[in-house]
Structure 1
């Protein structure tokens, strides 16, 4: 019998541990890994389809170069690297570094390569970093910076222990995002001593389990949340002792909330007032409570304000830094930075004037930065493990902009819609063909890290991202081909844990060559990496050193021996050999305050920009010609991110149906299974209709992850399901973060007969 091998799922931020059996290059059996320190055997139905990622007709097996006629021809790695490096350097010299940008760098679970791509970005001084994270979370990061002192002060939720949980704009039953979502939700629902409250325009699977479901009108989150906060202070349910000890500015926030017209805001949200009061009472009087949110809130109207208001819930009730509450957590390796507004060194885009948040730039502005006539417009772009032509808001803008680039390089495992615009396509090994890890280590008080071994040899002429960026860094002259002195020192002390001399040698090398600090990941790869099972994992030795430096006591509580460097060596060894994942730290709840950015460890409750927005809150522009509100990007049983290209992985909902309330369907003469044209102010697409009374009348929904084109047996490419970003617009976004309003897209529907619908099913060349 084939042995079970440990690995992890790569479809969402939970990155649950898996055990798999493999044969002939395929994942033949998949189950949850009970030895994983976080997921402990949990698995959802999507992970069972991972062989569709590993094996599909669009897998790349060699680097490619675009020809003058638009076709692609194979190119050897050395020539590709040399030509790309020369063109990047030429663009930088001719137009300045501001003409260069980077998009992506690590998908949901393949973050190891992002250490090397970020190091390469620093070496070439690429100033603009765009990512899917910046399309979703930068408003949240911005609010965190104001409240907690740093934009990477990120909170997690102690849902397992809480008495009351408030879910806003999230459906963990399908989206997960919390530990072992489905059994956890069932446990809360079955416990009479615990309360689950859901705020969502849809009656989701999670809402079905809730004690209270506030089914608000889409886009009215700020009205409802501000009304609930006003009730909280009006009833005197704040935790005054907590506010006195841990916060600054409550008097001003309270004064603002007391001006909120509660009844008017509840009416605008379209929910029952008695239920609203009961929800606030239960949350505020619970012994412990926390808030869990996701894109339903963060990509809704007033998105940055929404992020502020939801945090005020757990802050005003004293539910930060306690069991069952919200807590800060450590990052083993941070996946988000901090952009310091006070330092006056923030980078701004040239065309749209957008300022970085958390060292990220929103994808919404990228097409405009390319199409601009500014002399320092973006001319060179690297896209890594991302498909913005499909997943970015405003597909049509990307389709117009990408051909105007002087250079587009795509690093990916598959021939994506974005890759077809590239000048060079660099074929990467899959996430199961190399050492990998996810940096979504968001647990508190016990945090964990999972370093995964490869399951397969890389396909044909592919390379891991770590090697791709090392070769590019050598080609631009940023690093040497070898590090002979450091390599020799590492070999002298190849027996663990005696690497004290290597630490000394590395520190000395960086002191003598300050530029080495910028490329230390490559130095570790090229020296210490020679003594390890794979050179790409060497930077985790350095990360272990830094983690122990900042959180040594918490690391020691996991049972590891020693202090300082010895403890760091022990941590690295645990990570290296913990093939099902390993605990890295055990914090105490009171230590959450030490993870804040402000030195006095006090939350600044007043965010003046958002207080002003709240005081002038009004309904957004109506679209009378588009009477329906589309929730774009619903998470369903069989949709995922775009790494699943073969549509055969879906066991249901192959068309990605548009859900519509029966009342609206009847008014439009739409029957179950009929087809319609769904049109927004910015575009249109053909959809199949499904009647669904879990939506409010006037609301429709479409899933994300569709709209990919895939070849049939004859090589003819067909687009499967709705490419929903044909309906979205880059300008329809938040004023602070430029986060797109995906959950509030105005649309209208026009019925079409079945024959006409079939002719519109788009075939691609």
Structure 2
């Protein structure tokens, strides 16, 4: 591959959206190093030109007044002073080494890393944990999805097994706790919903306490009470078992533990539990019968059941719904998928080698720890407490539960370093701020390649010349490792071999030499990303050094899924197929199809040796039996249930800092039922106080007939202090508590926050 220069002239180009997990392809016009026009990319192999209104506003991410342009160091008076990269890297490295050598690995934690769409840098940041001899990785996945990952580990044999759904091909779809019209999460969401709605042979059922945009298109909307998902789904499973609606042939061929499941669920009081959800008993019976009998049925869920009461149990129940019905491993059903970027690992708490946190004794799930516990691990763990934190491309003071607790905890740290593109609320608490390139100023990708049977990947090329004195995360973390003397600054032999080796020889000489280096010094293995970056990376075209770590991943993926990669159209043999895949990824600006599987291949993705699913999870049977004792009646002090974090047309993942990006809902209004509003004598546009057991904020009211009585909602993505000003919109996590969470996964109950409302003149 020959060296080339990146052109930043005015031009048309392609990239991808970074605002949700779909990462739709974008076709862009660039003028004066900025976005001029953004539309969908017709050449993208998956989104095929689809785009929503949020992506069209990405110029508000690329250019705004909070962009960081130089390293900053906090001064004694609390102000920040610009310093050189050399000073910042060396001072931070010295302090990290001192903290590690004095207090040990439990003194350090990484927070974030790989923020939405910003996943390439995470591979480099993860190395800092190894350098600090730490295992504390806290991130947003562990705030949202680890209960689901834990269940997957029990069912399929590994927490790295992850499910997807063929909504676009299903005859009967259950949307439970999700609003894909706004949240997306399925291919080309709004078009897909429209196709299902128009087809008389297909059925869409939505379970949601609010009449959402998706619910308005559904054939059936089940408007259940908040927090009752576990009751309703367990009743549905019990109906399936009592009426023999389960797929006996599927269960016998592909699963273990059915008898234990049957025994546990036949004890469910079906009608009592459906009545707890306050929905029609007859309607639920009919839904179960039709879903079970459907030729191609699937279930799509999201944070609506993952951020509410019984988080982990909910994940178990929704999977039992489609597994017992046999809606798995076929087109139009739920499936597993390949994972090109190894975001998830398997960390089973039953394995004694996986250490727990000091204060909460919490275990990692998929290698991650839940943000709910971090303030306590900083403030309450004694001599073994967390003393230094690296925050990378995330904003815990706004996005993690209990802002006040995080403020107190971060103020008490010996060292807080923030790596980001913007002066966030968290960055203002930092000792050092290291400015990163924006996602469109560097090579970048998103690891959410979660499709089956066809899977894809999009490596985004740099679009713009980097602003100010910023660096990529690959360079920032590699310099830190060098300054900490964890890796040498030069690898002369590897670099020399890399210059002479090429794709024609499948890089055999280079990887052979790398293997010899690791054999001689095993301590270097955890830092392979930076070593490959410094050596092989320099030989890649267009300053693509940071992408060099994709080459061994391509080799691994092609070896593991050889036939599927060949079926996707790649020519090569077992020696060089991974290299061919890597070359295609580098060259195809609109993304590539990685692999093309057959549906029967899903069984090979199960981690158990016999390739069978373990239906019985004893811990979940215990939680199931405890449902009867769970109180669901709001108290007099807090009579409303708040959905904290509703997705709307103009809220995103907090990388939009300038509020001018919003065309509507500038205040992030509190939606409430008109009858509830009449009791307070308030109308749309008026202000109330929203008070939880933990805190209070001011909210602007908007009447919404689609809300259940006694239920209110607020959007996420607000509360930012743009240009250091007052918070704009609701600071949701002033209301939430770190203690209000799932007992197993510690996932917060953001969709079930008891609150009361008060007039300002009360």
TM range (shorter): over 0.9
Contact between 1:124 and 1:478, CA under 8 Å: does it hold in 2?
A: no
- For residue 164 of structure 1, what is the aligned residue in structure 2? 172
Matched, 1:616 2:623: no
DSSP-derived class of the 2:671 partner: strand
Q: 2:513 aligns with which of 497, 505, 518?
A: 505
Q: 2:556 aligns with which of 546, 561, 566?
A: 546
Q: 1:744 aligns with which of 752, 755, 759?
A: 752
Contact between 2:690 and 2:755, CA under 8 Å: does it hold in 1?
A: yes
Partners in 2 of 1:2 and 1:281 — Cα distance?
A: 58
Partners in 2 of 1:406 and 1:515 — Cα distance?
A: 27
- For residue 686 of structure 1, what is the aligned residue in structure 2? 698
Contact between 1:445 and 1:588, CA under 8 Å: does it hold in 2?
A: yes
- For residue 214 of structure 1, what is the aligned residue in structure 2? 222
Contact between 2:10 and 2:33, CA under 8 Å: does it hold in 1?
A: no
Q: 1:300 aligns with which of 297, 305, 308?
A: 308
Matched, 1:143 2:160: no
- 1:669-684 aligned at under 5 Å gives the runs 669-684=681-696
Contact between 2:441 and 2:464, CA under 8 Å: does it hold in 1?
A: yes
Matched, 1:526 2:497: no
Bigger mean CA deviation after superposition, 651-660 or 266-275:
266-275
Contact between 2:100 and 2:133, CA under 8 Å: does it hold in 1?
A: no
Relative distance call for 1:330 and 1:183 in structure 2 (3 A) is same
- For residue 600 of structure 2, what is the aligned residue in structure 1? 590
Partners in 2 of 1:535 and 1:500 — Cα distance?
A: 19
Matched, 1:702 2:714: yes
Q: 2:435 aligns with which of 427, 436, 449?
A: 427
TM-score w.r.t. the length of structure 2 is: 0.97
Relative distance call for 1:686 and 1:184 in structure 2 (3 A) is same
1:648-697 deviation digits (Å, cap 9, x = unpaired)? 00000000000000111111211221110010110000011011110110
- For residue 557 of structure 1, what is the aligned residue in structure 2? 567
- For residue 638 of structure 1, what is the aligned residue in structure 2? 650
User: CA offset at residue 25 of structure 1?
Assistant: 2.7
Contact between 2:107 and 2:388, CA under 8 Å: does it hold in 1?
A: yes
Contact between 1:497 and 1:570, CA under 8 Å: does it hold in 2?
A: no
Matched, 1:668 2:680: yes
- For residue 3 of structure 2, what is the aligned residue in structure 1? none
User: CA offset at residue 63 of structure 1?
Assistant: 0.4
Partners in 2 of 1:589 and 1:634 — Cα distance?
A: 35
Partners in 1 of 2:327 and 2:491 — Cα distance?
A: 50
Q: 2:248 aligns with which of 202, 216, 240?
A: 240
Residues matched between the structures, number? 750
User: CA offset at residue 374 of structure 1?
Assistant: 1.5
- For residue 460 of structure 2, what is the aligned residue in structure 1? 452
- For residue 281 of structure 1, what is the aligned residue in structure 2? 289
DSSP-derived class of the 2:97 partner: helix
Contact between 2:60 and 2:658, CA under 8 Å: does it hold in 1?
A: yes
Relative distance call for 1:93 and 1:2 in structure 2 (3 A) is closer
Bigger mean CA deviation after superposition, 55-64 or 366-375:
366-375
User: CA offset at residue 343 of structure 1?
Assistant: 2.8
- For residue 374 of structure 1, what is the aligned residue in structure 2? 382
Partners in 2 of 1:197 and 1:565 — Cα distance?
A: 48
Contact between 1:500 and 1:565, CA under 8 Å: does it hold in 2?
A: no
Bigger mean CA deviation after superposition, 113-122 or 694-703:
113-122
Partners in 1 of 2:642 and 2:370 — Cα distance?
A: 22
**Structure 1: where are the runs of 5+ without partners?**
757-765
- For residue 354 of structure 1, what is the aligned residue in structure 2? 362
Q: Give the aligned CA root-mean-square deviation in angstroms.
A: 1.3
- 1:167-246 aligned at under 5 Å gives the runs 167-246=175-254
1:53-110 deviation digits (Å, cap 9, x = unpaired)? 0001100000000011111001110111111011111111111111100000111111
Contact between 1:99 and 1:378, CA under 8 Å: does it hold in 2?
A: yes
TM-score w.r.t. the length of structure 1 is: 0.97
Partners in 2 of 1:275 and 1:61 — Cα distance?
A: 58
Relative distance call for 1:392 and 1:743 in structure 2 (3 A) is same
- 1:338-349 aligned at under 5 Å gives the runs 338-349=346-357
Matched, 1:626 2:638: yes
Q: 2:98 aligns with which of 90, 93, 110?
A: 90
1:182-227 deviation digits (Å, cap 9, x = unpaired)? 0000101111111111111111111111111111000000011111
User: CA offset at residue 494 of structure 1?
Assistant: 3.5
Bigger mean CA deviation after superposition, 667-676 or 611-620:
611-620
Partners in 2 of 1:455 and 1:231 — Cα distance?
A: 55
Partners in 1 of 2:78 and 2:638 — Cα distance?
A: 39
Matched, 1:404 2:416: no
Partners in 1 of 2:107 and 2:194 — Cα distance?
A: 51
- For residue 104 of structure 1, what is the aligned residue in structure 2? 112
Q: 2:662 aligns with which of 650, 654, 667?
A: 650
1:281-306 deviation digits (Å, cap 9, x = unpaired)? 12100001111110001001001000
Partners in 2 of 1:373 and 1:717 — Cα distance?
A: 34
Relative distance call for 1:528 and 1:722 in structure 2 (3 A) is same
Partners in 2 of 1:315 and 1:439 — Cα distance?
A: 27
Q: 1:127 aligns with which of 122, 130, 135?
A: 135
**Structure 2: where are the runs of 5+ without partners?**
1-8
Partners in 1 of 2:351 and 2:749 — Cα distance?
A: 30
Partners in 2 of 1:59 and 1:126 — Cα distance?
A: 31
Partners in 1 of 2:135 and 2:565 — Cα distance?
A: 35
Partners in 2 of 1:106 and 1:18 — Cα distance?
A: 21
1:310-361 deviation digits (Å, cap 9, x = unpaired)? 0001110111111111111111111121103343111211111111111100
DSSP-derived class of the 1:341 partner: coil
Relative distance call for 1:623 and 1:347 in structure 2 (3 A) is farther
DSSP-derived class of the 1:402 partner: helix
